[in-house]
Amino acid sequence: MSHSIQFSTPSRTLHLPPTRLHPPLSSFSFRQFPLTSTFKHTSLRASSSPSPDSSSSSSLLHSPNGTPAVKSEERSSGIDVDTVTEAELKENGFRSTRRTKLICTIGPATCGFEQLSALAEGGMNVARLNMCHGTRDWHRDVIRSVRRLNEEKGFAVAIMMDTEGSEIHMGDLGGEASAKAEDGEVWTFTVRAFDASRPERTISVSYDGFAEDVRVGDELLVDGGMVRFDVIEKIGPDVKCLCTDPGLLLPRANLTFWRDGSLVRERNAMLPTISSKDWLDIDFGIAEGVDFIAVSFVKSAEVINHLKSYLAARPGGGDIGVIAKIESIDSLTNLEEIILASDGAMVARGDLGAQIPLEQVPAAQQRIVKVCRELNKPVIVASQLLESMIEYPTPTRAEVADVSEAVRQRSDALMLSGESAMGQFPDKALTVLRSVSLRIERWWREEKRYEATPLQAISSASSDKISEEICNSASKMANNLGVDAVFVYTKNGHMASLVSRCRPDCPIFAFTNTTSVRRRLNLQWGLIPFRLSFSEDMESNLNKTFSLLKSRGMIKSGDLVIAVSDMLQSIQVMNVP
């Protein structure tokens, strides 16, 4: 089916030859708005008729009774944007904004309000709570501090709760923050519980069958291989192990064991993905209104669907996004179905590197990032990005190269773990992530500006196909025209995510009328989320947005923007009046 594209100006009309769009999409017209508009712009709008007339054009500009609707929503004149983004836009302009999002794991080093404020001002978009550590009261205090920070300073820091999972873990080290295992030392791993103090060089294990399943000669990996032991003796519930690779032992660290060069998986395969403790933590997260729940050691899409059904049946639970942590052989085997069922994925490289050969981890990361982008799901690259900065104020050059590669792959977000939770230099680690991200993104724009990544169609319903095509076209136009920003007006965030998926060169201003949607959008690449009350009338929305942003010095007259909306399937191109 052929469609004619028409571009009009006040002085002339240019008829382009027929072109072919994807069939079953509706036709598009590309035209100038009537002179009654308060600013000059063009519009590319989906419509049901092949040749829309001027009356359909004016319907975008007026309320149903035919009068201008610019003043209809002035009852809510505010706009929520964080102070750091506002200052950055004022000082350095659109192109200075960082596209890659940053996640900080909160721990003893960063749990205070002032420390959280410093992280937010340094670029933290999401605060991660690791339920392996701390009490629920401690986590509740952190959640409320983050909410207070958002309310007082206009941030949209989202909260991600990471479940512990039911894989084999170490215990709490008797209350100690860490323990150092030296080369040649013999340590005891035991399933016994200790009422009194923990014996020296003794580690409790969460899995009761540990001593039965492990064999002499097995290799025991702690925290994905950060420390290694050889099993040398079994005595009842105790397993004696010789340290072969020294390192720092942390509470609740994951344990895996290898036999004859292969991972021992049989027992782990029998453990549930979501443990009884995890379900209690999930209920806690629902009650506290967290934005995301990350599920550890996902083996199949079934567990994701089960959790999402559970969340949907509880008040407030349906607003929580489910992030699948890809950290096992099973999750790689069922990757596409897991990502399709989830609301995002995390490349948990530490535990993943304990289950597959180390040399396969980079290829696995690249595959996960690629599949997530194709399926329009945000992807987080995590684990050991700046591990040395737990103890040192500067990263290794190899770590910087690792961060650069994750940014170059166009990951949505990068995550700090121990660096921000218990490290000595959390602010500096965050600064490194931010500065490296900005530099690589600038390099990409300078050197790879017109390099398009082909994206497969993901929508099935007709209206969704139209939205997808509009966002693809808007992103391509943004690159070709060199626009300063793409404006997206979205109620549920879907339209903004479709634009983000295309990775346009310019920043994406995502306007939503819901605070929770604004926070969730803060995980996705390139989105600058604003909370703004808006109506179905796009001219009113645009006039209001221009007025508010200009009054705060965030945009100026003459800036070129493209606007799309999930209320009216249209593309509008305009200069700020």
Contacts of 204 (CB under 8 A, 6+ apart): 170, 171, 172, 189, 190, 191, 192, 193, 194, 198
| pLDDT tens per residue, range 256-272 | 888 888 888 655 556 78
How many structural domains is the chain composed of?
A: 3
Asked whether residue 161 falls in the same domain as residue 178, the answer is: no
427/332 same-domain check: yes
Is the pLDDT score of 192 beyond 80?
yes
Where do runs of H (alpha helix) occur along 70-162? 83-92, 113-121, 136-153
Radius of gyration for the alpha carbons in the chain, expressed in angstroms and rounded: 26
Task: Tell me the residue range of the domain where 548 lies.
Answer: 2-68+462-575
In a domain, 75, yes or no: no
The owner of tokens 């089960």 is 306
- Whether residues 561 and 469 share a domain: the answer is yes
Instruction: Give domain status of residue 292, yes or no.
Output: yes
- Residues 412/102, Cβ–Cβ less than 8 Å: no
Q: How many other CB atoms are there within 10 angstroms of residue 357's CB atom?
A: 9
Strands (E), 339-463: 344-348, 379-382, 413-416
Mean pLDDT across 27-35? 34
- At 404, give phi and psi (nearest 5°): -60, -40
**What tokens appear for 68 in the block?**
């201008």
CB 346 within 8 A of CB 217: no
The Cα–Cα gap between 566 and 428 comes to 39
Task: With H, G, I as helix, E, B as strand and everything else as coil, classify residue 429.
Answer: helix
Return d(Cα 116, Cα 297) in angstroms, integer: 28
The string of pLDDT tens digits covering residues 351-371 is 898 888 889 999 999 999 999
Residues 214 and 139 in one domain: no
Higher model confidence: residue 295 or residue 261?
295
512 found inside a domain: yes
pLDDT band at 173 (very low <50, low <70, confident <90, very high): confident
- The answer to the question of residue 82 being in a domain is no
What is the reported pLDDT for 335?
97
> Helices in 158-313 by DSSP H: which ranges?
210-213, 266-270, 276-288, 301-312
| 77 within a domain of the structure (yes/no) | no
* 37 touches 53 (CB < 8 A): no
CATH assignment of the domain containing 117: 3.20.20.60
Q: How far apart are CA 299 and CA 294, in angstroms?
A: 13
One domain, residues 114 and 159: yes
pLDDT of residue 453: 66
- Specify the pLDDT at position 340: 97
What pLDDT sits at residue 43?
53
| Residue 417: Cβ within 10 Å count | 24
pLDDT of residue 449: 59
Name which of 577, 560, 554 is nearest 89 in CA terms: 554
Query: Both 402 and 305 in a single domain?
Result: yes
533 and 429 belong to one structural domain: no
| Domain boundary, last residue among 213, 243, 270 | 270
Domain contains 158: yes
Q: Are residues 245 and 304 in the same domain?
A: no
Q: Which CATH number covers residue 208?
A: 2.40.33.10
